[in-house]
Amino acid sequence: MNKNATHGFDARSSGSALDEPLIPVRARFFTSMALSNLGVWMAFFAPIQILLAQQMEVLAPTHKESALGWVTGIGALVSLFANPLFGAWSDRTISRFGRRHPWNIGGALVGALAMVMLGRQGTLLGIMLWWCVAQFALNAMLAALTAEVPDQVPVTQRAVCSAWVGVTQPLGVVVGALLVTQLAHGIAQGYLLVAVVLMLCAMPFVGLVRDIPLRRDERSTWDGRAFLRGFWISPREYPDFAWAWATRFLINLGNAIGTLYMLYFLRDRLHYERLFPGKAAEDGLLIVVAVYTAGVLVGAFAGGALSDRSGRRKIHVILSSVVMTVAALMLMPSPIWPLVLAASAVLGLGYGIYVAVDQALITQVLPLATDRGKDLGIINIANSAPQVAAPAIAAILVTQLGGYPALYLITAIFTLLGGVLVRQIRNVP
């Protein structure tokens, strides 16, 4: 057996970077990749949830909501373009360190610098510019990490690998919040702490996992027009890829709409502060997030293991969409606190199954081995676009079209529809 594979360094120590991986990866690959992804999501969510909001309260106290909306909205728009662009560039990168690692560590370095600079800004324009830099850098890192799965992980391990990666997003929310609220003193120190932890999380994967370099004869001659045309993948030519994209978009849109206003739901619909005098709605939100995260952990690892063992993907995605639909329907009637906690656990369980199995399914419908980074970047638009669309849809539903019952009904419809569409994929069991 290959020495590197035995010790868990990488799946393929020789051959082409474009080969389909066959040698199983080991625990060191899973854990170091999960740690790197945890650093990315922590760096995304700590500013979005807390640090940027605190800066807006200082700079624009009378219109902090709209100011924060502009900053995060422009950042989300940047991510729509950055992820597939950096994925495509990584597909063509030739270096002794491989084609993904330069973007992984480079994104971490620039992202850490952007965090430090964000903590030093005293104007809205400065914050907006450096947040865009952070979005570019973190998406470069995320694009490279995402492409490592089809590059290095055999099909029979991809759901388990995706489980390790998928749970890092909700964990990143919790870790980021704890870092900046419990360990940091002030906004600038919070950003500095995020920068340090980002680098510490990024280094083990780059140091422990070998990324096979792309040979020059494996890279096509540069053609600017062909490069730009590559960002359009014909649904007629690659229908499975198109259906997988649509499935991810709808399920993520449903999830984004259903979770966006949870704090306001607890305060205005459940009346949490009236139920528990002396407690703030934020305290209830922390409990909900903890229960949801526990559900994600159980669903991801159980669903990933079962999917890899059976080799089936679609049935698990359908099951996850049904479970998440049930969670949304549980919140439609007049809520009570135990029901909210139960719905959070059910939603987490369903989403955990989904993030593990759907990511594995996605890697099996990519059109070409030469374009894995770019194609996964296009798939990631189905993650980012719902974050842009959800606030507008949710606001209209809550304020004009029926309130929270309507919001969770639409959440259920989008989520279930995503599960229905996955049945159209033909070449993945």
Q: What is the DSSP letter of 336?
A: -
Q: Please name the fold of domain 234-429.
A: Growth Hormone; Chain: A; (1.20.1250)
- H and E: helices and strands count for the chain: 18, 0
Asked if the domains 22-210 and 234-429 are classified in one and the same CATH topology, the answer is yes
Residue in 219, 90, 195 with CA at minimum distance from that of residue 142: 90
Q: Please name the fold of domain 22-210.
A: Growth Hormone; Chain: A; (1.20.1250)
**Nearest 5 degrees, angle CA 68-CA 410-CA 284?**
55
Question: Domain boundaries in the chain?
Answer: 22-210, 234-429
* Dihedral, 325, 326, 331, 336 alpha carbons, nearest 10: -160
Cβ proximity of 276 and 284 under 8 Å = yes
Sole residue written with tokens 């089809």: 150
What is the pLDDT, as a whole number, of residue 204? 97
Q: Which are the contacts of 91, defined by CB distance < 8 A and separation ≥ 6?
A: 99, 147, 370, 371, 372, 373, 374
What is the pLDDT, as a whole number, of residue 10? 44
Tens-digit pLDDT profile for the chain (429 aa)? 333 333 334 444 456 888 889 999 999 999 999 999 999 999 998 998 789 988 988 998 887 877 887 888 888 889 888 999 999 999 999 999 999 999 999 999 999 999 999 999 999 999 999 999 999 999 999 999 999 999 999 999 999 999 999 999 889 988 988 888 889 889 999 999 999 999 999 999 999 999 989 999 888 888 888 888 889 999 999 999 999 999 999 999 998 888 877 878 898 899 999 999 999 887 888 889 889 999 999 999 999 999 999 999 999 999 999 999 999 999 999 899 999 999 999 999 999 999 999 999 999 999 988 899 999 999 988 988 887 788 788 888 988 899 999 999 999 999 999 999 999 999 999
The count of other CB atoms within 10 Å of the CB of residue 124 is: 15
What is the pLDDT, as a whole number, of residue 2? 37
Cα(55)–Cα(42) distance, integer angstroms: 18
Q: What is the DSSP letter of 331?
A: T
Cβ proximity of 313 and 344 under 8 Å = no
Tokens of 360: 């594995």
- pTM as predicted: 0.83
What is the pLDDT, as a whole number, of residue 80? 86
Chain CA centroid to CA 426, Å: 26
**Nearest 5 degrees, angle CA 360-CA 167-CA 317?**
40
What is the pLDDT, as a whole number, of residue 72? 83
What is the pLDDT, as a whole number, of residue 66? 78
Cβ proximity of 5 and 205 under 8 Å = no
What is the pLDDT, as a whole number, of residue 419? 95
The count of other CB atoms within 10 Å of the CB of residue 292 is: 26
